[in-house]
Structure 1
Amino acid sequence: MNPVSAALITKSLDGLSMRLDVTAANIANANSRTYRPSLVTFEQSLRVAATRGIDAINVVRPRVEAMPAARFGDEPRIDLDLDTAAATAGRYSALIEMLGREMEIARTAIRGGQQ
């Protein structure tokens, strides 16, 4: 795996992990009147950094931001948080699987093609 791809995957996993944590907090605190739900952003920053190389990728940090006010009332939208959690878990799983395949290729190369 080339170094840029490895750095992108690592940063993506960091951002997705933080998003899962924040989404879990949103769900856990949905009934708290004073709690303000949050979201995690990092994809756009990572996309821009990818064009600039590894050093730019390494300085990208996921950001936790307050969610914008709801357009139709203040009631919590657990359904949206659950959707976010499912989508995030799917992306995280796909990246882990990709890393596993890359490691298997490296192991095979190190062993000279023998299992």
Structure 2
Amino acid sequence: MAEEFASLVEAFKNVGVSRAYGAAVQIAGEEIIPVALVTFGFGGGSSPDDGSGGEAAAGGGGGGGCVLPLGVYGPGKDGHVVFRPNTVAVLAGLVPLACALGFAVRGVVRAVKA
């Protein structure tokens, strides 16, 4: 089990800020820096041999990830760096927040009525 965990740690060692902010790219004479929301998770488990019936220990695991392109940092009209959002991706990223807010408001309204 320790070997599998060590391989997972090695695989995810490079995930972090360097994945959220990409390398600068030249497009149409402008230098832009892509920005993304990077998330991942993994887990695993096992069941020990209980000694009744001669069954061997069983285990398993899995993982996954998601990268959502949020926009780019680039030069603005006055020469300062500005963030230019990817509107569709930002709205898609806000859907879970809007759902959570809706459930919270519904719970408060129900509590007030009771």
TM-score (norm 2): 0.32
Name the larger-Rg structure. Answer: 2
Higher strand fraction: Structure 1 or Structure 2? 2
Structure ranking higher on relative contact order (CA contacts 8 Å, 6+ apart): 1
TM-score (norm 1): 0.32
